Amino acid sequence: MLAPPLRLLRLLRLALAAFWSSYLAPTCLWLSALPRRPSSLAAPAKATPEDSTTTTPPPPPPLVPLSVNYHFTRQCNYQCGFCFHTAKTSFVLPLEEAQRGLRLLKEAGMEKINFSGGEPFLHERGNFVGKLVQFCKQELKLPSVSIVSNGSMIKERWFKHYGEYLDILAVSCDSFFEEVNVLIGRGQKGKNHIENLHKLKQWCQRYGVAFKINSVINRFNMEEDMNEQIRALNPVRWKVFQCLLIEGENSGEDALREAERFVISDEDFEQFLKRHQGLSCLVPESNQKMKDSYLILDEYMRFLNCVNGRKEPSRSILDVGVQDAIQFSGFDEKMFLKRGGKYVWSKVDMALEW
């Protein structure tokens, strides 16, 4: 027989065991079956000094030079009063260097190249631009190769040699009155700019090149009605620019032109567009759309930044590569897309009747 304190202790143990088996054990099992708080919602652990060094933001994605305008020469045979890429130098890169730069651009993602000037057909009588066009289509296999020209120097034999490699030829024409073209400075003695325009349209058709027209709307042509003539010429695109001032080019002390007398208001530009709104080929470009939405390379293959209203050059892509140079281009990719910078630009994709 157990002593009374020991009996009391044994009774207490028996009572505790009964309580465990009938109540506490099931309750613990039920609690352990409840869903757990996901780790992502768990209270954050305190940051350590080491953590702060690992949370630097990722670098911005590289800019892709999808569509590039290469103004390889500044020389021109015309004297347009509002010209915004003037003959400040006579420099042109050697062909091999220009081709090296074009290859760099292709490797960086370029799909469209536009050769511009100055007048692209002036240098080596068009052979230089012809070789670049052929190189870009044949070697680099670019989807789109185009030229902007005043059209005055182009001969039919150029089309015979190089026409197959060219997607688009854009010819500048601001008026269908010859005296207005002369007033603007778009003309040469003894040559009729409008007759030449019609001849170029025919050659484009004959040699399978898409024909485009560029017009700069200014004080001297803003009231003109060009509907009939544009319909007759039937370009794939009619790019209509509002005359733009660029300091150092056509405005300011160190400029070669004084374009202030050509400038028109936004309302005047709107009126011109309204008059021609029935033309499906019309592609309007106001000053606001134009600014910063083009990737422009100068004769040294430097990107020109127009953000401050003048053309400030980067370093040459030939010296620092495309990605380093393009950071200083001031290029606004959103505005490029907004102004319709990406369109059907390969002649094989255009429904053209040659």
Could you give the residue numbers annotated as active site?
76, 80, 83
**Residue 150 contacts ligand SF4 per CB under 6 A:** yes
**Residue 119 contacts ligand SF4 per CB under 6 A:** yes
How far apart are CB 222 and ligand SF4 at their closest, in Å?
A: 17
**Residue 76 contacts ligand SF4 per CB under 6 A:** yes
Task: Classify residue 286 by its DSSP letter.
Answer: -
What does the alpha-carbon distance between residue 251 and residue 248 come to, in Å, rounded to a whole number?
6
CB proximity list for 342: less than 8 A, separation 6 or greater: 66, 67, 336
What does the alpha-carbon distance between residue 180 and residue 220 come to, in Å, rounded to a whole number?
7
- Please say which residue, 219 or 275, places its beta carbon nearer to ligand SF4: 219
What does the alpha-carbon distance between residue 68 and residue 109 come to, in Å, rounded to a whole number?
10
Q: Are 226 and 276 in contact (CB under 8 A)?
A: yes
- Please say which residue, 117 or 284, places its beta carbon nearer to ligand SF4: 117
**Residue 67 contacts ligand SF4 per CB under 6 A:** no
How far apart are CB 246 and ligand SF4 at their closest, in Å?
A: 12
How far apart are CB 87 and ligand SF4 at their closest, in Å?
A: 8
DSSP symbols for 145-214: EEEEE-STT--HHHHHHHGGG-SEEEEE---SSHHHHHHHT--BTTB-HHHHHHHHHHHHHHHT-EEEEE
User: Out of 117, 126, 151, 163, which residue is the one contacting ligand SF4 (CB under 6 A)?
Assistant: 117
**Residue 81 contacts ligand SF4 per CB under 6 A:** no
- Please say which residue, 140 or 183, places its beta carbon nearer to ligand SF4: 183
Cα torsion through 115, 119, 123, 129, rounded to 10: 20
**Residue 70 contacts ligand SF4 per CB under 6 A:** no
Binding piece for ligand SF4, criterion CB under 6 A, among 1-9, 10-18, 111-119, 316-324: 111-119
User: Out of 78, 238, 241, 345, which residue is the one contacting ligand SF4 (CB under 6 A)?
Assistant: 78
Instruction: Lay out the sheet containing 168-172: strands in order across.
Output: 282-285, 237-242, 210-217, 168-172, 144-149, 112-116, 67-71, 295-297, 302-305, 312-316
**Residue 293 contacts ligand SF4 per CB under 6 A:** no
Tell me, by CB under 6 A, how many residues bind ligand SF4: 12
- Please say which residue, 104 or 262, places its beta carbon nearer to ligand SF4: 262
**Residue 118 contacts ligand SF4 per CB under 6 A:** yes
244, amino acid identity: L
Binding piece for ligand SF4, criterion CB under 6 A, among 105-113, 116-124, 248-256, 333-341: 116-124
Candidates 215, 218, 220; CA nearest to 235 is: 215
Site string for ligand SF4, 164-183 (x = CB under 6 A): --------x-----------
Angle at the Cα of 125 from the Cα atoms of 234 and 202, rounded to 5 degrees: 20
CB proximity list for 280: less than 8 A, separation 6 or greater: none
How far apart are CB 173 and ligand SF4 at their closest, in Å?
A: 10
28, amino acid identity: C
**Residue 83 contacts ligand SF4 per CB under 6 A:** yes
Site string for ligand SF4, 186-205 (x = CB under 6 A): x-------------------
Longest C-alpha distance within the chain, in Å? 141
Q: Which residues contact ligand SF4 by CB under 6 A?
A: 76, 78-80, 83, 85, 117-119, 150, 172, 186
